[in-house]
A and B are shown apart, each in its own frame.
Chain A
Amino acid sequence: MAAKASGPIKRTFTPWDDPSAKPFIQFENVTKRFGDFVAVDNLSLDIYEREFFSLLGPSGCGKTTLLRMLAGFEAPSEGRLLLEGQDISGVPPHRRPVNMMFQSYALFPHMSVEGNIAFGLKQDRMPKADIDARVAEMLRLTKLEPFAKRKPHQLSGGQRQRVALARSIAKQPKVLLLDEPLGALDRKLREETQFELMDLQQELGLTFVIVTHDQEEAMTVSDRIAVMDHGKLVQVASPAEIYEFPSSRYVADFIGDVNFMSGKVSAVTDGGVEIRDDTLSCSIAAHLENPGTKVGDDVWLAIRPEKMRISLDEPGDTATNCVSGEVWDIGYLGGVSVYHVKLANGNVVKSTVTNQTRLVERPIGWEDKVWLTWPHDAGVVLTA
């Protein structure tokens, strides 16, 4: 799964690397079928206590289905689902110590904000005084005190989102499931709320499983990210590992921007590899993550655009890790500019440059001949 070259990445909370740690939630070979359609395909996954876990993947890949199985709205067609080592497959949703925050918020329109937050507590027949205290606490946590008596339709989108959150954490569930909780918010509010969510998770010590479409959001909030495709897990790893050591072209492409260079392995050295491609003027030297790679294998080198150095001057060594081309397009994004460079073989390679100077002083322009170079350890060699 995750690239094992995790040396340079510093982490403090890594129970998944600790063989003695007990997983909190376990999917064991879970398959979910809707008729003939396989929405979740023989999936196994461990999630640890207090983890902030993200599910990321294209639309329809089965993220919501996975959450709904955890919440109890769908039963797995095959396989087992364990919570703290107990099989919960037969437990109906209203008896599971798991709460969900719905994408549509699903606030009860006929109840006030207080009523919504207290709903779950009332189901537990908690004493009235305790309910009031907890509701007040939740209102404070989510800064909703001024709106306690309002009905959901009298709130703005962001306020509704916070009510939904308050309602789902009021019962202090062991696991909180969040299905695209911030999808309906505008960008700025979403970024603020991401940090609020992280603080909340720390403060309450809960386990969060969050579904999101937004890769930046997943990178920001998560301890680990699972990238899904067609009901299968493609890679499960920390944000940095996913970004720096993607396990396949699919993951590399899905998270962030990436350049691929294809070729055949021409030599394997100690911890490194040489790749050649006839259409390329240079050979490629790279670190090798995959020990099984042999001479003659088809491989791809994935390099993030910010790791491609772009220059108007010809570098000293043009034989390895150096290509030249013509600036085809410049994407100005404010903080950075993306240069699209067309190589002699027709491929376009992207290079990102931080705009440290004002626009007028930028030296590289359209149709300039430029050189792109990169260090040995900048890219990842992928075999799939």
Chain B
Amino acid sequence: MTAPNAKPLIKSKFFVVFVPYLWLFLFFLAPFLIVLKISLSQTAIAMPPYLPTFDFSEGIGAAFSELKELSLDNYAFLFSDSLYIKSYLSSLQIALISTALLLAIGYPIAYGMARSPKAWRPTLVMLVILPFWTSFLIRVYAWIGILSREGLLNTFLVWTGLIDTPLTILSTNIAVYIGIVYSYLPFMVLPLYAALEKMDESLLEAASDLGCPPLKTFWVVTFPLSLPGVVAGCFLVFIPAVGEFVIPDLLGGSSTLMIGKTLWAEFFSNRDWPLASSVAVILLMILVIPIVFFQNAQQRQQERDS
């Protein structure tokens, strides 16, 4: 607002900006710097299990001399051991394939919802959101009972006579795909629906009026107009899927390599915090480009709305 009448507001305005800013700075941004620092440290059998710890009680000088102990050893190790590189690549691959599957499955659902009678739409949207409110862990768990060798799917298929020996689905990458698609479906459907619902139906009528056949209308009118939703949905599922832990851990097998799982194991089982940190740093570097893209898209969306 304007200069003179803004005066009494200045304090509260500053407060409104400052408090969440400080919070996010302290608990979101600052921790990354610590991760970066620890990724350059050495593993130690101590608590905390890394060196140097920069104990400032011994004076700045001592802390400064410890600076020299930082090294890139962890990163060198990451790149020398093919396990990590394979984990990264396999994570990206799984996330990419899952995103493609989600788009292929989510688009018809979102499209059907957006073209449904107006009165149903709020209910349909709620039905998409509802599973998202129920626990992620429980939804993943539900699939264990379905996909396991003695699980419901195999029992059903054997009972129908389609197969006679149970299929092994649990503990394979297929189960991971199913899990990711299932858990992330609302995140794909909702932005797609939002974009498709906004679209004026008279555009389709105009296109067909001008002689465009329905399928072509879809490709030249509907799909391009829904692109913001497609982009938002893909980022919204791809980025977290790359670092997914619960799904590969519970549904995948020992051969399922995903970086979230590797990091977890490095941290909790091997207690190698510096190595886990460097795994996180590299993962962040891989994701930083899509994250910045996502953030820009969000901001543009917001500016367009206002």
Interface residues of A (CB under 8 A from B): 72-75, 89-93
Q: Does B119 reach chain A (CB closer than 8 Å)?
A: no
**B2, B3, B7 pick with most chain A CB within 10 angstroms:** B2
Name A89's contact: one of B1, B4, B7, B8 (CB within 8 Å).
B4
**Cβ of A91: which chain B residues have Cβ within 8 Å of it?**
4-5
Closest to A89 in B: B4
Closest to A88 in B: B4
Are A73 and B1 neighbours in the complex by a CB distance under 8 Å? yes
A259 to B234 CA separation, bound complex (whole angstroms): 62
Are B1 and A90 neighbours in the complex by a CB distance under 8 Å? no
**B4, B5, B7 pick with most chain A CB within 10 angstroms:** B5
**Cβ of A89: which chain B residues have Cβ within 8 Å of it?**
4
**Cβ of B3: which chain A residues have Cβ within 8 Å of it?**
75
A89 to B4 CA separation, bound complex (whole angstroms): 8
Are A73 and B4 neighbours in the complex by a CB distance under 8 Å? no
Q: How far is the CB of A331 from chain B (nearest CB, A)?
A: 32
**Cβ of B4: which chain A residues have Cβ within 8 Å of it?**
75, 89-92
A89 to B5 CA separation, bound complex (whole angstroms): 10
Closest to A69 in B: B2
A-B contact pairs, 7 of them (CB 8 A): A72-B2, A73-B2, A75-B3, A75-B4, A89-B4, A91-B4, A92-B4
Interface residues of B (CB under 8 A from A): 1-5, 7-8
A73 to B6 CA separation, bound complex (whole angstroms): 10
Query: Given A74-B2, A89-B4, A91-B4, 12 other A-B contacts at CB below 8 A?
Result: A73-B1, A73-B2, A75-B2, A75-B3, A75-B4, A75-B5, A90-B4, A92-B4, A92-B5, A92-B7, A92-B8, A93-B5
**Cβ of B5: which chain A residues have Cβ within 8 Å of it?**
72, 75, 91-93
Q: How far is the CB of B71 from chain A (nearest CB, A)?
A: 51
**Cβ of A72: which chain B residues have Cβ within 8 Å of it?**
2, 5
Q: How far is the CB of A20 from chain B (nearest CB, A)?
A: 33
**Cβ of A92: which chain B residues have Cβ within 8 Å of it?**
4-5, 7-8
**Cβ of B1: which chain A residues have Cβ within 8 Å of it?**
73
**B3, B4, B7, B8 pick with most chain A CB within 10 angstroms:** B4
Q: How far is the CB of A105 from chain B (nearest CB, A)?
A: 21
A92 to B7 CA separation, bound complex (whole angstroms): 9
Q: How far is the CB of A32 from chain B (nearest CB, A)?
A: 10
Q: How far is the CB of B174 from chain A (nearest CB, A)?
A: 52
A258 to B209 CA separation, bound complex (whole angstroms): 43
Q: How far is the CB of A65 from chain B (nearest CB, A)?
A: 12
A74 to B8 CA separation, bound complex (whole angstroms): 16
Q: How far is the CB of A76 from chain B (nearest CB, A)?
A: 9
A90 to B3 CA separation, bound complex (whole angstroms): 9
Closest to A72 in B: B5
**Cβ of A74: which chain B residues have Cβ within 8 Å of it?**
2
Q: How far is the CB of A271 from chain B (nearest CB, A)?
A: 51
**Cβ of A93: which chain B residues have Cβ within 8 Å of it?**
5
Closest to B5 in A: A92
Q: How far is the CB of A326 from chain B (nearest CB, A)?
A: 41
Q: How far is the CB of A67 from chain B (nearest CB, A)?
A: 14
**Cβ of A73: which chain B residues have Cβ within 8 Å of it?**
1-2
A73 to B2 CA separation, bound complex (whole angstroms): 7
A91 to B8 CA separation, bound complex (whole angstroms): 12
A75 to B6 CA separation, bound complex (whole angstroms): 11
Closest to B3 in A: A75
Closest 9 CB pairs of A and B: A92-B5, A75-B2, A90-B4, A75-B3, A75-B4, A74-B2, A93-B5, A72-B5, A92-B4
A72 to B4 CA separation, bound complex (whole angstroms): 9
A92 to B5 CA separation, bound complex (whole angstroms): 4
Closest to A94 in B: B5
Closest to A93 in B: B5
Q: How far is the CB of B253 from chain A (nearest CB, A)?
A: 56
Q: How far is the CB of A216 from chain B (nearest CB, A)?
A: 34
Q: How far is the CB of A102 from chain B (nearest CB, A)?
A: 16
A4 to B149 CA separation, bound complex (whole angstroms): 101
Q: How far is the CB of B169 from chain A (nearest CB, A)?
A: 53
Q: How far is the CB of A35 from chain B (nearest CB, A)?
A: 14
Q: How far is the CB of B2 from chain A (nearest CB, A)?
A: 4
A75 to B7 CA separation, bound complex (whole angstroms): 13
Closest to B9 in A: A92
**Cβ of B7: which chain A residues have Cβ within 8 Å of it?**
92
A91 to B7 CA separation, bound complex (whole angstroms): 11
A75 to B1 CA separation, bound complex (whole angstroms): 9
A92 to B9 CA separation, bound complex (whole angstroms): 11
Q: How far is the CB of A88 from chain B (nearest CB, A)?
A: 10
Q: How far is the CB of A97 from chain B (nearest CB, A)?
A: 15
Q: How far is the CB of A300 from chain B (nearest CB, A)?
A: 42
**Cβ of A75: which chain B residues have Cβ within 8 Å of it?**
2-5
Q: How far is the CB of B159 from chain A (nearest CB, A)?
A: 56
**Cβ of A90: which chain B residues have Cβ within 8 Å of it?**
4
A244 to B212 CA separation, bound complex (whole angstroms): 56
